[in-house]
Amino acid sequence: MNNHFSESQLEAFLDESLPDEQMTAIEAALRDDSQLAQVLSEIIGRRDAGVHTLGAIWRSHRLSCPSREQLGSYLLDVLESEQRDFICFHLETIGCRYCNASLSDLREQHSATDAAASESRRHKYFQSSAGYLSRDD
Ligand SMILES: [Zn+2]
């Protein structure tokens, strides 16, 4: 697949000055089109001789980081596939440290919440007659 985006579009993409639809289209295309990624990283190279990889610029600018809510939805697997793929790409291919950290944080919170919830259900079930209330958080 040849890239069908012009360099000026890619420049605008880097500036995050494209309409959302085009931002998303380019992000999606970058996922499967290594040639496009190459073109983009050449543009980045021209723009900033100190930054050589797409991953680096992505990380340093935190381009298109999903929100914490989106990461939460990703964790719960309730996103539409396109969005889920993007977040997966962002986390695993780009390897965004910030989002990976947020995600493991959310995962911890989530499993703590789950554990607390089932704990409190158990307590309610077994000890409701004793007037047992769940622990303070
Ligand atoms: Zn991120």
- Residue 43: closest CA among 63, 14, 23: 14
Q: What are the extents of the domains in the chain? A: 7-97
Which one-letter DSSP state was computed for residue 18? S
What is the structure's pLDDT at 46?
A: 75
Residue 103 scores a pLDDT above 90: yes
Q: Residue 1: pLDDT band by 50, 70, 90 thresholds?
A: very low
Q: What is the pLDDT of residue 114?
A: 75
- Higher pLDDT: 112 or 75? It is 75
Alpha-carbon dihedral 44, 48, 49, 53, rounded to 10 degrees: -40
Per-residue H/E/C for 54-76: HHHHHHHHCCCCCCHHHHHHHHH
**Centre of ligand 1 from the C-alpha of residue 132, in Å:** 43
Query: How many angstroms is it from 9 CA to the middle of ligand 1?
Result: 22
> Is a pLDDT exceeding 60 seen at residue 105?
yes
Q: Which two tokens stand for residue 76?
A: 């719960």
Q: How confident is the model at residue 125 (pLDDT cuts 50, 70, 90)?
A: low
pLDDT of residue 54: 59
Average pLDDT, the chain: 78
Instruction: Name the residues around ion ligand 1, CB cutoff 5 A.
Output: 65, 96, 98-99
For residue range 2-14, what is the model confidence (pLDDT) as tens digits? 457 888 788 888 8
Measured in Å, residue 59 CA sits from the centre of ligand 1 at 7
pLDDT 10s digits, 41-57 = 888 777 766 544 555 55
Between CA 125 and CA 61 the distance in angstroms is: 50
Whole-number Å distance, alpha carbon 126 to ligand 1 midpoint, is 44
For ligand 1, the distance from its centroid to the CA atom of residue 96, given in whole angstroms, is 5
- Give the tokens for residue 71: 């990461």
Cα of 46 from ligand 1 centre, angstroms = 24
Distance (Å) from CA 83 to ligand 1 centroid: 14
Residue 32 carries which side chain, given as an amino acid letter? Answer: D
